[in-house]
Structures are given as structure tokens and as C-alpha cells.
Chain A
């Protein structure tokens, strides 16, 4: 699928008749991958078959098909109507509206009845309420040394730690820092369904993913720049040769000079994953004391027992910071975990965890229903239920 763009470009050049020899080879290679590809290439190469194909498509404009489409359109318009009944509708409309309302009431009371039933015997009936859940957004809390907690503005997406004040990234003032007090420890915390970005006093930028906490000083003093993380964050560390940057997570310590990497150190996951995009870092396993170096496109997986280093495609690990989910043969369980953090839902397995894996990309701005729809798992296997639960059958 990654090559779809390339293939389309090649097809376009093919139609225009300006393929180079190398490109022709690529296109031929693609056409050999599947009989359908070959058929498509043949179809657009030959005028006769191209227009024969077009005739087939043109039947979509035939009277018969237009009639069917009209009926589909009518049905759709009818079923979305209740949302758009205005107060000034005529009596007949009012009647229809009322019957919809009655139907909704009936469904609601039925589900309440089920809920009550469920409480008496939790095993008996699955209560599934059809509802949707909005995606997360820019949400975070900034905690100061003196215990003050500031809920950050959802309309803005980042804060900047300056030497005498903390501002939003658009320079709107947030907190005045008293320098005489010395450096103060700050804590940026995102809830489930929240992300935020912070620029530290040395210019290091950190994107904090959902359900994560970053602890850092307002000013870096001493030999090292030390910060602490739980959860997931993407770091773009500013270079300072004489003051290395040290990132502490429960179970590992990371030393860097100037670099970009992603770290995932959630308490509910068994391992800490550090994925290096640029530069160089050193990972120290706190339990074993072992130190390992990473080069770009490598990932370390730290467990209490050992540290594993592997080559990876970094995209799936950093996509969240650019606003999308990216899966590459990602296990069902991991996909659900990511959804759980972003949509603030709890995953409930009513049976074995499915063994499917997923590949593809999906915007994080989708609602949960839309996301499940794209994952093609919504039909019967995964349903949204009361109390922000996602039930997997």
C-alpha cells in the first residue's frame, strides 16, 4: 500500500506516454503482482478496452440506476430528518417528529431496563448503548512547586518555559517566575485523551502523549539537564555539548547530547520502548545496569531482565505527535491500548484477545465510532458501552 502513490504516478506517466525505461520496469513489476493490476494496465493502455470499460461505468448514469440512487437518497434523507426538524414545521411534520421522539424514548427506557437487569445479574445481558465518543485534544495540567495546578487552555497547544515567565507558545503569559527562588520543579500532566507540547528553558521541545507526566526544572543548572517521564513523549533535545540531557523513567536512564527520539514508558506496559529518530542516545537499564547505544532507526526495549535492541520503522512510534495513528502489523491488543488512551475508554475483553494485526494510518481527529469503522471491527466484535467501555467479543 505504501507504493500506491508511486503506482499512480507511473500510471499517469504511462497515459501521458513519458515513462522512462526504469519506470516502465517498475510498472511492469507492479502489474505482475496481481492479475487485477495487469488487467488495469492493459485496460488503460488500449483505447478499445478503455472505452469498453467506460461504457460499463456509464451504466451508472442509466435511468434504472438513477432511479435506484434516487430511492437510496430518499431513504437516507428520511432517516436523517429528525435531527433537522425545525420548530416551524407543519402539523404533519410535528406528528412524525413526535413519533420519532416516542421511539427514542422507548429505546431509552428499554436500555435503562436492561441496565437495571444487568445490575442484578451481571452475566445475563450485554448492555450496549449506541453512542459515540469524541477524540482527545489539547488537554494538560501544569503543576508548580508550590502545589498550584493550572489547567492549560485547550485552544492552545503548547507552553514555553522562559527564564522569568512561563507563557503559551503564542506568547500569552501564564505564570511569572521569581528567579530569586532558584529553579523550580514543574510537572506537566496529560489526562487520557489529552496531549500537549512544551518547550523547556534550554529550547528542548517535548510532545507529551495522553496519560503522561513530565517533570522538569524551570532552569537547568549543574552538569546535567535532568527530566523525568512516565507515559509517552517525543523529545527534540537542544544540543549542549557541555551539559548532557538525562531522561529518567522508572526502569531506565537515557543520556543524550542532542537528538530526536520517542519514549514510551507507561506504567501499565511491561516494557520501555525508546525509538531513535536522529542523533545518538545511551540507554541504561536501571535493573541490570547495562548500557546500550542507539543509532537512528533503532529501538531499545527495556525490561527488568534485559535490554533488547532492534531495527525498526520509526513512523508508527512517532505518528501520534503529527496527529495520526500509524500501525504496521500492530497487534490487536496494542491498537486497543492506543485507542483506550486517546478516547479515554476502558477495554473489556469478553473472551480471548483476537490475534489480528493492523496496518495503516488513521487521523486522531476521528470520533471513536468513525475510528472503529475504519478498523473494520465495529460490526459485532467491538462495541461502545455504558461508562466509557469498549467491549471486545
Chain B
């Protein structure tokens, strides 16, 4: 949660037009946004444009925001709408091309993407709290999928330690997810609702 508090201070500066604060917001939020957009529009160039456009609009609307949750919610709504619009347009064009892979065009799918982005960003943050050994083992075994033997060799530790570090890392992650990030998602969701617009046709 302390990151959230720090970011709230950044938002206050951003509101006053501080470019460095805006940069900081971009660096903390752009990955989640790109993840959601790319999950919907597939085409990387379009995804980049949508994210870029979203942040430019955020800058223009900066005076409205005084906390990180409302900034995040605003961005999510913008890029979700833009991505869905684009994906729907593409889908119309390629209706008769059955080879095209599945395109996300529904609101629930987009919402699930957003929940995942928040979730995984929280995991990413939690990983930085692990001890070095835990992190190294976690990275090699879970992320890179290496076998125990390889890890023992790479880190010069026993198979028993690999097991211990791995389970300690996963345990810490789960604990972290329970205690930190979900709380932020929950309070985020209230703002999200406040800003959220469904286009019912």
C-alpha cells in the first residue's frame, strides 16, 4: 500500500501540471494499460497508439484527479473503450475470414483483462519483496521453467534448499496477494464504478 500512497503524492503534483510527475505515472501504469489493450487489439502498433492516446487525454484532464485510483480508473475506461471500438471495427471487416484468431470484443472479457492486469502487476511488485535467493529460485523454476538440477548448479545450492526457497517464495506471494494488492483492487473498483460507462445498445 505504501506504493499507492507515494503515487497519490505524485498525482497531486501531476494535477498541478508537473511533467516529471506525469512521467512517473506513465512509468507506473503504462504496462498494465498496454497489457489490457494488447489483449484486445492484438496489433502492436494500434495498441501503442491507444495507450499513447490514453495518456495524452489523461494529461489534458489532469486537473480532475487527486488520487491514483481515479487516474487508474480513468485510464482503464479510456483504453478499454478505444480498444473495444477498434476490435469491433476489425471484426466487422474480417467477418468472413474464419482463420483469424479469436478477438476480444465483449465488456466482460475486457473487464477480466483489467482484473488480471491489476493482479499480475501486484505479483510483480510482490516479487521485489522476496529475498534474493527466493527470487532467484522462483525466477528459474517458475518463470523460466528450469529443472531442479539445473537450478542447483546455477545457484550452487542443494535440491532441498531449492524446494524450500521455491515454496517459501510462492507462500510469500500468496500472502502478499491476499494482504496488499487485493485491498487496492477493491478500493480501485469503487472508483472504477464511479467512472465506468457501459454503452448499452
B186 touches A9 (CB 8 A): yes
Give chain A nearest CB distance to B201 CB in angstroms.
6
> Interface residues of A, CB < 8 Å — how many?
61
A5 touches B196 (CB 8 A): no
By a CB distance below 8 angstroms, the chain A residues around B85 are 376, 379
By a CB distance below 8 angstroms, the chain A residues around B11 are none
Interface positions of B (Cβ within 8 A of A): 17, 19, 22-23, 26-27, 30-32, 34-35, 44, 48, 51-52, 55-57, 59-61, 63-64, 74, 77-78, 81, 85, 106, 108-109, 111-112, 115-117, 119-121, 123-124, 142-143, 170, 174, 177-178, 182, 185-186, 189-190, 192-201
Secondary structure dominating the interface of B? helix
New A-B pairs, 9, CB < 8 Å, besides A15-B178, A55-B143, A370-B60: A4-B189, A8-B186, A57-B116, A69-B31, A76-B52, A80-B56, A358-B200, A374-B78, A376-B197
In the complex, whether A357 has a CB less than 8 A from a CB of chain B is yes
CA A369 to CA B63, docked complex, whole Å: 12
CA A45 to CA B123, docked complex, whole Å: 15
A358 touches B197 (CB 8 A): yes
CA A68 to CA B143, docked complex, whole Å: 23
CB-CB under 8 A for A367 and B61, given A65-B34, A360-B198:
yes
By a CB distance below 8 angstroms, the chain B residues around A12 are 178, 182, 185-186
Interface positions of A (Cβ within 8 A of B): 1-2, 4-5, 8-9, 11-12, 15-16, 33-34, 36-37, 39-40, 43-44, 47, 51, 53-55, 57-58, 60-61, 65, 68-69, 71-73, 75-77, 79-80, 83-84, 132, 324, 329, 356-363, 365-367, 369-370, 373-376, 379
By a CB distance below 8 angstroms, the chain A residues around B109 are 34, 36
Partner of A84, one of B17, B60, B63, B108: B17
Give chain A nearest CB distance to B15 CB in angstroms.
12
Give chain B nearest CB distance to A329 CB in angstroms.
6
By a CB distance below 8 angstroms, the chain A residues around B120 are 53-54, 57-58
| Residue of B whose beta carbon sits closest to that of A79 | B56
Give chain B nearest CB distance to A387 CB in angstroms.
22
Partner of B124, one of A57, A76, A366: A57
By a CB distance below 8 angstroms, the chain A residues around B32 are 60
A8 touches B185 (CB 8 A): yes
B200 touches A329 (CB 8 A): yes
A34 touches B34 (CB 8 A): no
CA A144 to CA B189, docked complex, whole Å: 46
B200 touches A373 (CB 8 A): no
CB-CB under 8 A for A366 and B77, given A8-B185, A15-B174, A75-B52:
no
CA A79 to CA B59, docked complex, whole Å: 11
CA A173 to CA B30, docked complex, whole Å: 50
CA A365 to CA B61, docked complex, whole Å: 11
| Residue of A whose beta carbon sits closest to that of B70 | A363
By a CB distance below 8 angstroms, the chain A residues around B22 are 80
By a CB distance below 8 angstroms, the chain A residues around B178 are 12, 15-16
CA A369 to CA B60, docked complex, whole Å: 9
CA A76 to CA B52, docked complex, whole Å: 7
